[in-house]
Amino acid sequence: MTSPSVFSTLAMPGVERLPIYEPGKPISEAARELGFPSGDVMVKLASNENALGPSPLAEEAMLAAAREMHRYPDGGAFHLRNALAEKFGVGPDMILLGNGSNELIELIGQVWLAPGRSMVISDSSFIVYRLVAAKLGATVLSVPMKNLTHDPDAMLAAIRPDTSLVFFANPNNPTGTMVDADTLDRFMEGVPDTAIVCFDEAYIELLEPAAQPDMIKHVRSGRPAIVLRTFSKAYGLAGLRIGYAIAAPEAVALLNRVRQPFNVNAMAQAAAIAALKDEAHVNRTRAVVRAGADYLMRELDRIGVPFVPSPANFMLVEVGDGKRVFDALMRHGVIARPVGGPYGLDRYLRVTIGTQEENEKFIAALHAVVNGGKEA
Ligand SMILES: Cc1ncc(COP(=O)(O)O)c(C=O)c1O
């Protein structure tokens, strides 16, 4: 019989010590843990998903694709890459699809990180950057933020000769803050040609088009930049796992060498092509998010809970003891996201902007938890 310890003794050095990503709790599991009769009574505002769900066009495309699921996907994602290339005015050889942008972050790490190299990020930025660096044995150079916002000058100053990557989430998760286009352009002027900047724009389509900083121009002009986008947020396809990178053909060719041949499934490709055609759904999503954000900010003011305004579909609320309030909200049937631990934001909770009904339930629960329901 095999001794169970062989799994550990043969594991690659360091694997046992790797940190684990903790996803937001699924509704069914949270309901079961709390003894709620069904998931229906709970609202999940923990993972920055789209309150409206997918576009009806994407749903139709998924149903049609279901009949073709005995076929392997197109490993080169020909049609989707062409659609994205046309949308952004770049060549199809500048587009790479991923199993969510999470996979792209990992692939980027596999190509450009290694022991002896470093990555620059902000203290309270998306945790997956740290996880990838840890897995690949690279050094993380973590830069303090200013007012919970990236500090581009400090990030520039942190870049060392061994720095191969800078990850810049804009808007940033979990703080929900954003750096404007002019500042980013100046930042790019200062980035040495020895480092690659990844602008992670997971939430960018939630801003009005005119307010979206154009970082793709840096890719087009040959600067060392990669832009990451996802279908998980504004397009409401988080469950399908599909995102994309826009980068120089040379960078895409390198990334193609480390990915699985069929990393993006056929249903996701079909849904994404349809979703791109449904601008109206993105516009509706944007309107629901903005109206929800306005409602939440008004109500948070009313109940006396400070918050960090955000152009994305989530915001930080300052509750004092994030973990305690998270647990208490769960008992009221609301799943938010604690952002202490590696994010270092113990005083805050992150809440996704949901439907009006979900937002109302969140406010009522928060009011009951922090004020015992009394007016502030
Ligand atoms: C900043 C940021 N980047 C990337 C992702 C990953 O998105 P996905 O893997 O679903 O495309 C998220 C998800 O929450 C995010 O907040």
What CATH number is attached to the domain comprising 183? 3.40.640.10
Domain boundary among 247, 277, 307: 277
Say how many Å lie between the CA of residue 289 and the centre of ligand 1: 17
* Residues 243-272: b if buried by 16+ CB within 10 A, e if exposed: bbbbbbeebbebbbeebeeebbbbbbbbbb
212 plus 349 within the same structural domain = no
Question: Is residue 1 one of the residues assigned to a domain?
Answer: no
The answer to whether 317 and 306 are in contact (CB under 8 A) is: yes
Query: Is position 163 within any domain?
Result: yes
pLDDT per residue, tens digit, the chain (376 aa), is 566 689 889 998 889 888 888 777 778 888 888 888 766 778 999 999 999 999 999 999 999 999 999 999 999 999 999 999 999 999 999 999 999 999 999 999 999 999 999 999 999 999 999 999 999 999 999 999 999 999 999 999 999 999 999 999 999 999 999 999 999 999 999 999 999 999 999 999 999 999 999 999 999 999 999 999 999 999 999 999 999 999 999 999 999 999 999 999 999 999 999 999 999 999 999 999 999 999 999 999 999 999 999 999 999 999 999 999 999 999 999 999 999 999 999 999 999 999 999 999 999 999 999 998 776 5
Residue at a domain's end among 232, 257, 277: 277
Domain termination site, one of 277, 312, 329: 277
Nearest CA to ligand 1 atom 3: 202
Cα of 24 to ligand 1 centre, how many Å? Answer: 13
Asked if 255 and 108 count as a contact pair (C-beta separation under 8 A), the reply is yes
* Same-domain pairing of 100 and 176: yes
What is the atom index within ligand 1 of the atom nearest the CA of 104? 9
Tell me which residue range forms the domain holding 149: 56-277
253 shares a domain with 295: no
CB of 200 closer than 6 angstroms to any ligand 1 atom: yes
Which residue pairs, CB below 8 angstroms and at least 24 apart, start in 17-21?
A: 18/131, 18/134, 18/135, 19/130, 19/131, 19/134, 19/342, 21/127, 21/128, 21/131
Does the CB atom of residue 238 touch ligand 1 within 6 A?
Answer: yes
One domain for residues 256 and 143: yes
> What single DSSP character describes residue 99?
S
Ligand 1 pocket check for 48: Cβ under 6 Å = yes
Does residue 360 form part of some domain?
A: yes
Determine if ligand 1 sits within 6 Å of the CB of residue 126: yes
Q: β-strands 225-230, 196-200: how paired?
A: parallel
Domain annotation covers residue 166: yes
Our mutation pick for probing the ligand 1 site, out of 47, 101, 240, counting the most ligand atoms within 8 A of Cβ, is 101
Report the distance separating Cα 289 and Cα 310, nearest Å: 10
CATH number assigned to the domain comprising residue 23: 3.90.1150.10
- Within-domain flag for 295: yes
CA 327 / ligand 1 centre spacing (Å) = 24
Query: 48 alpha carbon to ligand 1 midpoint, in Å?
Result: 9
Do 52 and 285 touch, CB atoms closer than 8 A? yes
Q: What angle do CA 249, 253, 257 make, to 5 degrees?
A: 165
Separation of CA 202 and ligand 1 centre (Å): 6
Are residues 187 and 64 part of one domain?
Answer: yes
Tell me the CA–centroid distance for residue 328 and ligand 1, in Å: 27
Q: Ligand 1: distance of its center to the CA of 152 in Å?
A: 21
Residue nearest ligand 1's atom 16 by CA: 173
Residue 83 and residue 89: Cα distance in Å, rounded?
10
Query: Are residues 114 and 36 located together in one domain of the fold?
Result: no
Question: What residue type is assigned to position 203 of the chain?
Answer: Y
Note whether residue 6 is domain-resident.
no
Q: Are residues 314 and 268 in the same domain?
A: no
In a shared domain, residues 76 and 173: yes
Whether 9 maps to a domain, the answer reads no
Residues 262, 216, single domain; the answer is yes
Give nearest CA residue, ligand 1 atom 7. Answer: 101
367 plus 248 within the same structural domain: no
Beta bridge partner(s), residue 268: none
Tell me if 167 sits within 8 A of 126, measured CB to CB. yes
352 lines ligand 1 (CB under 6 A): no
Number of structural domains in the chain: 2
Note whether 106 and 201 are same-domain residues: yes
Is the domain of 308 the same as that of 362? yes
Task: Give a yes or no: residue 328 inside a domain.
Answer: yes
Q: Cβ(234)–Cβ(286) under 8 Å? A: yes
Ligand 1 near 122 CB (within 6 A): no
| pTM reported for the whole predicted model | 0.96
